[in-house]
Amino acid sequence: MKEMVNELIHYRELLYILTWRDIKIRYKQSVMGFMWAVFMPMLIVAAGIIMKLAFSFISGKPFNVMDLASISVKALPWSFFIGSIRFSTICLTANSNLVSKIYFPREIFPLAAILANLFDFVIASSALAVILAVGNIGISLNILWLPILLFLLVVLTAGIAFVLSCANLFFRDVKYIVEVVLTFAIFFTPVFYEASLFGKWSSLLLANPVGAILEQINNVVVLHQPPDLFWLSYAATFSFCLFIASWFVFHRSEFLFAERI
Amino acid sequence: MSETALELNNVWKKFIKGERYDSLRDLIPAVFRNTLSGNRSSELSGMEFWALKDISFQVRRGEALGIIGPNGSGKSTTLKILSGILRPTSGKITVNGRLSALIEVGAGFHQDLTGRENIFLNGSILGMKKEEIKRRMDEIIEFSGISEFIDTPVKRFSSGMYARLGFSIAAHVDPEILLVDEVLSVGDMWFQEKCLEKMLSFKNKNIAIIFVSHNLESVNVLCSKTALIKKGTLRTIGDTAETIREYICSNQEEAVDVATENSISNVKLLNMKNELVSICYPEQKCRLTFKIRCDKPFEECQLGFLIHRLSDGLSICDYNLPLNSIKRADSSGDTADGAIDFDINLLRGSYSVSLHMYHYPSATFLTRVKNIAYFSVEERVSWHGVTHISPLLHSIG
Ligand SMILES: Nc1ncnc2c1ncn2[C@@H]1O[C@H](COP(=O)(O)OP(=O)(O)O)[C@@H](O)[C@H]1O
Ligand SMILES: [Mg+2]
C-alpha cells in the first residue's frame, strides 16, 4: 500500500499533465469551448425541470424555486459522476499506445480522467453558485460539509473507475454495459426527486452510496441542514472500502495490461 | 553506484498465440463449452509459446549493447521487460538508475496537440519534471530541427518529423540507461547520423545503452558488444563484428537451393586459396563459384551479378555477364560449373550477393536468386565510405 502511494506521488506531475491533456483536447475539439462543461449538466437540469413540472401538474402541488435549486445542485455532481465513469472506463483502451509502449503506474489514467471531469465540475459549479446567489437561496455554516462530501464522491468514483477501466481492458464490451447502466441509473438515484418521497422505502434508495452523497449535498447546500450522519458514515465506509479494494485489484492486474491490450 | 547498470538473469517470457477472448460475449459461451467438455487446460497450453527463452546478459555503465536478430525474435519484448512494461514469466531483472526507453517514438504523442505541447506531454511521460522541460525546451526544438512546425498539431507531421521530435525528447531526458528500439529508421540519414553522434556522446557520459537496429552499420559504429537473438534464444553475445558475421552467415544456412529446369545452386564465396570466406578485406580478390542449369543456349543468356550493401540496400554494382564464356559440363547436358572472380574494392560494411539468369531473345528471367551469399568487409585501419579507390598520400617534387 505504502509503495503504491509513493509511486503515485513520484508521478504526480504526469498526472497533472495527462489531466491537462484531456482537458485541452476536449476544449480544443468542441467549438463551444468552456460551454461544454456547463452544457451537459444543463441538459440534466432541463430534463429534471420537465419531470418536476409534469409531477406538479398531476399532483397539483406548485413548482417552486427550491425544487429548481435542488435539482441543479444534485445534477452537477451527478453529471460529474457519470462523466468520470464514462471516461475512465475507456481510458486504458483509448491510451493503448501508452499502455503497451511506456512504463508508468497505470492508475494515472483513470485518475486523470476523473480530474479532468472534476475540472468541468468546478467550472459548472461556479456558474451555478452565481445563479443560486441571484436566486437568493441563502447560505449557512452547513456548507462547510460540502468539501468533505465532494471528496467522498471523488473517492467513490475512483473506486468504481479502477474496476471498470480494468474490466474494459480485459473484456471490451464492458463499456456498452456501463453505458446502459448509466442511462438507467438516474431512475434509481435521487437526482430529480427526494428519497423521502418514498417513505419507508427511502433507505433502499440511499443504500446506493451515490444517492446518499447527493442527498447530503442537497441537505447542506439547499436545505441548510446538517447531513444525516448515519447515511454519511455509511457512504464514507462504502467509498473507502471500495476504493482500497479496487485499487488493489487494479494494481494486481496491472502487469497484464501491456500484454492483453 | 554499482558498475552494472542492467542485468537479466535467466529471463523467460511466455505469450499466448492466436485469438483471445476479449469480450464477455465470447467468454460466456466459451466457459460453458469448456465446463461441459472439461478439457480446458490442454487447449490452452497448445496456444502458449516462449517468446524469450533463458536470456541472460548484463550491461555496464558507459557501455552500448547492440541487439540484432530477425523480426519477431523477441528484441522488443526484451526491452519491454527491462523497462517494466511487461513482467517476465520467470527470471530476474536488475535495473540500477533512471531508465528511458524509446520503444516507439512518439508513442505518447497526442495527434491534436502541437509539437510544443507534445514536448511537455512526452517529456513528463518519460519522467522529466516540468521545470526541466521548460529549461531544455529550446534545446529540444533545436535538436529536432523542426522549429518551423513546432506549433503545428502533430497530426500534420510526416513520420520522419515524428521520429525527429520523439528522439529529441528522449535524448534530453538525461537518462542513466537508454533503451532504443528500431526507431531511427524513419528519420533521414542526416538525422540518423546526428542521433548516432548523440548516443556516442552518451557513452562518454557513462550512460548505459541498449540499441536495437536493423541498420548493422549503426550497430557497428555505436556498440562494442552485440547480442544476436533468434526465435527467443540468445545465440551469441560478444564482439560486434563477430556477432554481425554470425547473423549474416546464419541467414546463409537457411537459403535453400532446389535444382529445377533453370537454376543456380551451390553458390560459394571463396578466397584465392579456395577457402570459404565471409570476411574480406579491401583489395582482396574473391571468387564466387556456382553451378547452373539452363535449358536455353548459353549464347542467348546473361548472368546477372549484383551486390547490395545490407545496411541501406544501396546497389553497389549490377553487372550482366554473357554466359557464353562458360562451358557445359558435358556437351549434351544443360549444367555447368562457373565462377566469377572479382576485386573487393569496398570499404567497411556488410554486403549481399544476388544472381540471376536472363534470356534476352525472350526477355525473361530464367531464374533469380536473391541474397545467395553474404560477406562483410573489415579494414585494417579506419576507412569509411563505399568504394575503395586506393588513395595514396605522398609529397611531390
Ligand atoms: N502481447 C503479445 N501477445 C502475444 N504475443 C506477442 C505479444 N507481444 C509480442 N508477441 C510475440 O512475441 C514475439 C516477439 O516479438 P517482438 O519482441 O516484438 O519481436 P522483435 O524482435 O521483432 O522486436 C513475436 O512472435 C510476437 O508475435
Ligand atoms: Mg521489434
Rounded to the nearest angstrom, the distance between the alpha carbon of B74 and the centre of ligand 1 is 6
Q: Give which of B100, B116, B124, B179 to mutate to test A binding, by max A Cβ within 10 Å.
A: B124
Query: For residue B120, which residues of chain A lie inside 8 Å, CB to CB?
Result: 17
* C-alpha cell recorded at residue A63: 413548482
Q: How far is CA B344 from CA B81, B242, B353, in A?
A: 42, 20, 12
Quickly state the pLDDT bin for B252 (edges 50, 70, 90).
low
Q: What is the largest CA-CA distance in chain B?
A: 98
**B318 DSSP β-pair partners:** B306
Cα atoms in the Cβ-side hemisphere of radius 13 Å centred on B194: 15
Beta bridge partners of residue B336, listed in sequence order: B292
Q: Is A98 in Cβ contact with B108 (below 8 Å)? A: yes
Please, is A154 exposed, middle or buried when counting C-beta atoms within 10 Å of its C-beta (0-12, 13-18, 19+)? Answer: buried
**Atom 16 of ligand 1: nearest residue by CA position:** B74
Does B258 have pLDDT greater than 70? no
CA of B101 to the centre of ligand 1 (A): 17
pLDDT band at B350 (very low <50, low <70, confident <90, very high): confident
Q: Do A21 and B104 make contact, defined as CB atoms within 8 angstroms?
A: no
Rounded to a whole number of angstroms, the distance from the CA of A175 to the nearest CA of chain B is 10
Coil/strand/helix, residue B83: helix
Q: What are the pLDDT digits (tens) for B272-317? A: 998 888 788 888 899 999 988 888 888 889 999 999 887 777 889 9
Which chain B residues are within 8 Å of A29, Cβ to Cβ? 112
The residue nearest atom 6 of ligand 1, judged by CA position, is B15
pLDDT at B378: 78
Q: What is the tens place of the pLDDT at every residue in B117-128? A: 999 999 998 888
Task: Spell out the domain ranges in chain A.
Answer: 2-23+34-260
User: Distance between CA B196 and CA B131 in Å, rounded?
Assistant: 27
pLDDT of residue B41: 47
| Cα-to-chain-centroid distance, residue B102 | 16
Question: Does residue B253 have a pLDDT over 60?
Answer: no
Walk along chain A (261 residues) in steps of 10 and give the mean pLDDT of each run.
85 91 80 71 86 81 80 92 94 91 92 94 90 82 91 96 94 93 90 81 86 92 89 95 95 90 81
Q: Does A4 touch chain B (CB under 8 A)?
A: no
**Per-residue pLDDT at B38 exceeds 60:** no
Using 50, 70 and 90 to split pLDDT, how confident is the model at B111?
confident
pLDDT average, residue stretch B199-217: 89
**Pick the residue with more confidence: B355 or A33?**
B355
Which A residues 93-152 touch B at CB under 8 Å?
Answer: 97-98, 100-104
**CA pair distance B73, B65, nearest whole angstrom:** 17
Lowest mean pLDDT among A210-224, B28-42, B134-148: B28-42
Count of beta carbons in the 10 Å neighbourhood of residue B136: 20
A101 CA → ligand 1 middle, Å = 13
Residue B57 backbone phi and psi in degrees, to 5:
-165, 170
What is the tens place of the pLDDT at every residue in B61-88? 999 999 999 999 999 999 999 999 999 9
Residue B257: what pLDDT? 45
Domains and CATH numbers, chain B: 4-250 (3.40.50.300), 255-377 (2.70.50.60)
**With bands split at pLDDT 50, 70 and 90, how would you rate the model's confidence at B189?**
confident
B40 C-alpha vs ligand 1 centroid, how far in Å? 24
User: Long-range contacts: B145-154, Cβ < 8 Å, 24+?
Assistant: B145/B191, B146/B115, B149/B115, B150/B114, B150/B115, B150/B116, B151/B114, B151/B115, B151/B116, B152/B114, B152/B115, B153/B111, B153/B112, B153/B113, B153/B114, B154/B106, B154/B109, B154/B110, B154/B111, B154/B113, B154/B114, B154/B115, B154/B118
Q: If you measure CA to CA, which chain B residue comes closest to A253?
A: B87
Percentage helix, strand, coil for chain A under 3-state DSSP, each rounded to 5: 80, 0, 20
pLDDT, position A33: 59
**8 Å CB contact between A210 and A81:** yes
- Its ipTM equals 0.84
User: Residue B195 — very low, low, confident or very high, per pLDDT cuts 50/70/90?
Assistant: confident
- Residue A193 phi/psi, 5° resolution? -135, 170
> Average pLDDT, stretch B145-153?
90
Q: Give the count of alpha carbons within 13 A of B87, CB side only.
A: 8
**Mutation choice for ligand 1 from B44, B76, B211, CB with most ligand atoms inside 8 A:** B76
Mutation target among A21, A109, A168, A260 for the B interface, most CBs of B within 10 A: A21
Q: Under an 8 Å CB criterion, which residues of B touch A?
A: 15, 20, 22-25, 27, 80, 83-87, 101, 103-104, 107-108, 110, 112-113, 117, 120-121, 124-127, 129-130
Q: What sign does the CA torsion over A84, A90, A96, A100 have?
A: positive
Q: Tell if the CB–CB gap between A172 and B23 is shorter than 8 Å.
A: yes
Q: Give pLDDT, residue A257.
A: 92
Query: In angstroms, rounded to a whole number, what is the distance separating the alpha carbons of residues B308 and B350?
Result: 9
Q: Do A13 and B129 touch (CB under 8 A)?
A: yes
What are the chain B neighbours of A102 within 8 Å (beta carbons)? 83, 85, 101, 103, 107-108, 125-126
Give the per-residue pLDDT at B260: 58
> In whole angstroms, what is the distance from residue A206 CA to residue A228 CA?
11
In Å, how far is B281's CA from the nearest CA of chain A? Answer: 42
Instruction: Measure A109 CA to ligand 2 centroid, in angstroms.
Output: 25
Query: What confidence tier does B256 reach under pLDDT thresholds 50, 70, 90?
Result: very low
CA dist., res. B331 & res. A26, Å (int): 81
Highest mean pLDDT among B1-5, B40-44, B374-378: B374-378
Q: What is the pLDDT of residue B380?
A: 62
Pairwise CA distance, residues A174 & A144, whole Å: 38
| Cβ B213 under 6 angstroms from ligand 1 | no
Specify whether the CB–CB gap between A153 and A81 falls below 8 A.
yes
Closest CA to B221 of B104, B380, B387, B66: B66
